[in-house]
Amino acid sequence: DGGITQSPKYLFRKEGQNVTLSCEQNLNHDAMYWYRQDPGQGLRLIYYSQIVNDFQKGDIAEGYSVSREKKESFPLTVTSAQKNPTAFYLCASSVAITGGAETSGYTFGSGTRLTVV
Partner 1 sequence: SQKIEQNSEALNIQEGKTATLTCNYTNYSPAYLQWYRQDPGRGPVFLLLIRENEKEKRKERLKVTFDTTLKQSLFHITASQPADSATYLCALINNNDMRFGAGTRLTVKP
Under the criterion CB under 8 A, does residue 104 sit at the interface with partner 1? yes
> How far out from the chain centre does Cα 83 lie?
18
Minimal distance, residue 15 CB to partner 1, in Å? 25
2, 15, 98, 117: which one contacts partner 1 (CB under 8 A)?
98
Cα–Cα distances (Å) from 14 to 60, 115, 117, in that order, read 21, 9, 5
Q: Please spell the DSSP secondary structure of 48-83, one letter per residue.
A: EEEETTEEEE-TT-TTEEE--SBTTB--EEE-TT-S
Under the criterion CB under 8 A, does residue 115 sit at the interface with partner 1? no
Site string for partner 1, 51-90 (x = CB under 8 A): ---------------------------------------x
Under the criterion CB under 8 A, does residue 111 sit at the interface with partner 1? yes
Cα–Cα distances (Å) from 66 to 2, 39, 105, 113, in that order, read 23, 24, 22, 18
> How far out from the chain centre does Cα 99 lie?
22
27, 43, 60, 116: which one contacts partner 1 (CB under 8 A)?
43
Residues near partner 1, by CB under 8 A: 4, 6, 35, 40-43, 45, 90-92, 97-98, 101-111, 113
